[in-house]
Each structure stands twice: as structure tokens, then as C-alpha cells.
Amino acid sequence: THLLASLWHAAPGPKAFGTFVEYTNLVGALSFRKTVEALSHYKLVCIDEFELDDPGDTVLMSRLMRELADAGVKLAATSNTLPGSLGDGRFAAVDFAREIQVLADQFDVIRIDGEDFRHRGLPAAPAPLKNSQLAAQMKAEFDGKTVAEDEFSSLIGHLAGVHPSRYRQLIDGIDGVVWRNVETITEQAVALRFVVLADRLYDKDVPILASGVPFDELFTDEMMHGGYTKKYFRAVSRLTALAREGQNHEPS
């Protein structure tokens, strides 16, 4: 993400930067043709966290990338999956081999291996707080700031009624979040929505205070080892980093 952002800053405009989910949501909001028309005016389109979650995304992004490339738009993307392996473990990717190959052909791959920088040389993530500790920790971390405080189950219910494309606006102006009684998420659709929220919070560097289960228990073992494992590990990593930022001060 940092390398992609650096490329975006260094490249001449006009240019666009967004996450994979934001581009697919853009198609949903504008229509495919209007999205192509809008993005075709850019010299560079940067796509962060490129991944395929279903066959519909495969066909959609294959067409979008092909038409943008034909229009002379340069494409740059980050992904935890090599282009030729997109979709593996999520759906019958072999049935969409041609579409996946079209996507792969749009890119020259630069592979960068290494430890997750968010945890390199850093202490372990703080343990979840007790409910009785939250008020004092909130005052220590967020005194005078705008904080969104929610019961975790209520937050989950609220997210179900908000389109993921709106999650960025949902947290706009928030300096910190506090979640009471975090529970393990057991439904895949709920978990995938929460991954989007985690990404948006991380984009805005919003610290988190939480009670309940630790974030490495937020998703079930089956989820952590299933088709969306990279999404869930990324979410846990990002939430852990934000939880660490949320406990920088000792309560008075």
C-alpha cells in the first residue's frame, strides 16, 4: 500500500487511487459504462488490495481492466495473491481461467516478500480491556475528541443496513472508536462486511479501544483457513495495529 501510494504521488496526473472494493462499488453506483468513461480520462489508476471474491468480480474487473488498458490508462495494483492465482479457494476459478488470465496479462509482477511491518519489532497487541476499564482509558486516549462508542452486537446489526461503499462516510470525523463486548463473528457475510470496516478504519488511522475477545479470535478457525483467509488475516493485522495505537496512555 505504501509503495502504491508513493507511486501515485510521484506520477503525473490526472490519476486515481482507490481500493479494489471501492472500484467495484463505483461500478455499482455509476454503472459499468459510466465508470469506464470516468476512469478513461486518467493517466494512472492505482488499485489497492486487489482480490477476487466471486465470479461476478472476475468478469467485471476483467472487462474494466481491459477497457481501461485499451484506452491507454496505466494500471498499478497491490495484492497478496499473484495475478494468475486470483480466485483460488473462493470459487471454481478454473471455470474462469480465461478471465483471470486477461487480468494477469495486464500486469508485470513485482514480488515483495517480508514480515508484516505492522508488527515488526513491536510489542504484542494489548489484551482486550474490561468493560470497567473502558471509561478511564477513553478519557486518557480521547479526551476532547470525537469518539464512536458502540456495543459490538449493535454495530454488527447497523453495518448490515449500510452499503459497504458508505463505510468511509460512516466513520468520517471520528477520532477513535470504542467497542464493548467484541464477539467472534460466525457468519461469512457479516465477517466480510466487517473486513471492509477494518480497512476503512485503517485507511483513516482510527485508534480502537475494545473489550471482549481479542482480535485474533474475531473470526472462526474455519474462516481463517478458508477461501478468504488473506482478507481475514489482513483485517486482524490491521485491527491489532489500531488497538495498539488505542492504548498509548495510562489512565489517570
- Report the 10 Å Cβ neighbour count for 172: 9
CB of 103 within 8 A of CB of 64?
A: no
Query: Is the pLDDT score of 86 beyond 70?
Result: no
Query: Is the pLDDT score of 43 beyond 70?
Result: yes
pLDDT digits (tens, 9 = 90+) for 117-164: 555 555 566 789 999 999 999 999 999 999 999 999 999 999 999 888
3-state secondary structure of 21: helix
**Vertex 193: Cα angle to 188 and 196 (nearest 5):** 130
Task: Please tell me the predicted confidence (pLDDT) of residue 243.
Answer: 92
Query: Is the pLDDT score of 85 beyond 60?
Result: no
pLDDT digits (tens, 9 = 90+) for 167-206: 888 999 999 999 999 999 999 989 989 998 998 999 899 9
CA distances in angstroms from 246 to 127, 140, 175, 211, 243, listed in the order given: 11, 10, 10, 12, 5
CB of 52 within 8 A of CB of 90?
A: yes
What CA–CA distance (Å, rounded) separates 250 from 252? 6
CB of 159 within 8 A of CB of 171?
A: no
pLDDT digits (tens, 9 = 90+) for 199-238: 899 989 999 999 999 998 999 999 888 877 778 888 998 8
CATH superfamily of 2-105: P-loop containing nucleotide triphosphate hydrolases (3.40.50.300)
CA distance from start to end of the chain: 37
Task: Please tell me the predicted confidence (pLDDT) of residue 91.
Answer: 43
- % of the chain exceeding 90 in pLDDT: 46
What CA–CA distance (Å, rounded) separates 152 from 129? 14
Domain boundaries, the chain: 2-105, 123-245
Average of per-residue pLDDT values in the chain: 83
